[in-house]
Amino acid sequence: MNLTISNDNIVLTDIRDFDLTHTFECGQCFRWNRVDDYSYLGVAMGKALKIELHDGVVVMYDTSVDDFNDIWQYYFDLPRDYGKIKSRLSEDVVLKNACEYGWGIRILKQDSWECLVSFIISASNHIPRIKKIIQLLCENFGDELSYMGNTYFTFPSADTIAKLTLDDLSVIRAGFRDKYILAAAKMVTGGEINLCGINRLSNADLKKTLMQIPGVGNKVADCILLFAYARHNSFPVDVWLKRIMEHYYFENKQRIDDIQAFSTEKFGELGGFAQQYLFYYGRDNKIGL
């Protein structure tokens, strides 16, 4: 990777294994939207960013070297060698195809609070609707952010949400999930759950702690482990992964627990990466439907 600065834009060359569509459309995040064929714009970590990738050159618009160094290089997991990960996973023929299909996926390192709320909202929900609910949440309760001549909104803090009533929250149309969001905010604000502090916990303890939060079950906890705490052996199994795994690796229906155990055995420390390649590949190709 090579970094140069022109005006207020960060330009990266010699970037491998990175594709914006693969990364933003593989179901891990909900606040990035396509601008044109080569770029996306999103809000994350309290900042707005337009990112473009064309002919192997990444441009991050109107940002700073400090923000790149402190935030974006880690958010996009740029220091990690995904080529090595893919070549190891490709020993399995199914994964080989999945890696070739979603070759540019990177697992984002997202803010833990945003990730927690986002995946509480994701329960029994489709991506377009998840995105709409989160957008309403930000527009109604986030802080205004001015960027490249437009206004965007940050993801509202736990403190902000904890002060709301269920009636206030009804504007986001989250349905039965609204009470979980409110309860989660109160647990975080009240110190019952320390989202930073629990980073030191083992995977098992971290998951157990997160599952104390209402609205966080096995699957949602696995997503938070993978997308916010960089526990890359986490293998979230939703209905898609269940179908995909059954299709490729089993003769018949399986219990989620059994699929998870099988995946842990098969993919080990790379389970989370495998999950993302499989999900993106399987969903786009409607595997198991």
Interface residues with DNA (CB under 7 A) are 26-27, 122-129, 170, 173-177, 180, 211, 213-221, 238-240, 283
> Minimum Å distance from CB 127 to DNA?
4
> Minimum Å distance from CB 17 to DNA?
20
Rg of the chain over all Cα atoms, to the nearest angstrom? 19
Q: Cα 23 from chain centroid? A: 9
Pick the closer one to DNA by CB: 42 or 58: 42
What does the block give as tokens for 94? 């199914």
- Per the DSSP assignment, residues forming a β-bridge with 146 are 151
Q: CA 14 → CA 78, 172, 200, distances in Å? A: 11, 42, 34
Distance, CA of 85 to CA of 89 (rounded, Å): 6
> Minimum Å distance from CB 175 to DNA?
2
> Minimum Å distance from CB 60 to DNA?
24
Distance, CA of 75 to CA of 81 (rounded, Å): 15
Pick the closer one to DNA by CB: 26 or 51: 26
> Minimum Å distance from CB 126 to DNA?
6
In this structure, which amino acid lies at residue 248? Y
Pick the closer one to DNA by CB: 71 or 184: 184
What residues contact 131, with CB distance under 8 A and at least 6 apart? 30, 31
Pick the closer one to DNA by CB: 10 or 162: 162
- Per the DSSP assignment, residues forming a β-bridge with 101 are none
Q: Which run of H or of E encompasses 232?
A: none
Shortest CA distance to 99 belongs to which of 251, 277, 279, 229? 277
> Minimum Å distance from CB 92 to DNA?
22
> Minimum Å distance from CB 239 to DNA?
4
Pick the closer one to DNA by CB: 50 or 219: 219
Distance, CA of 50 to CA of 42 (rounded, Å): 7
Pick the closer one to DNA by CB: 46 or 214: 214
Pick the closer one to DNA by CB: 12 or 220: 220
Under DSSP, is residue 193 helix (H, G, I), strand (E, B) or coil? coil
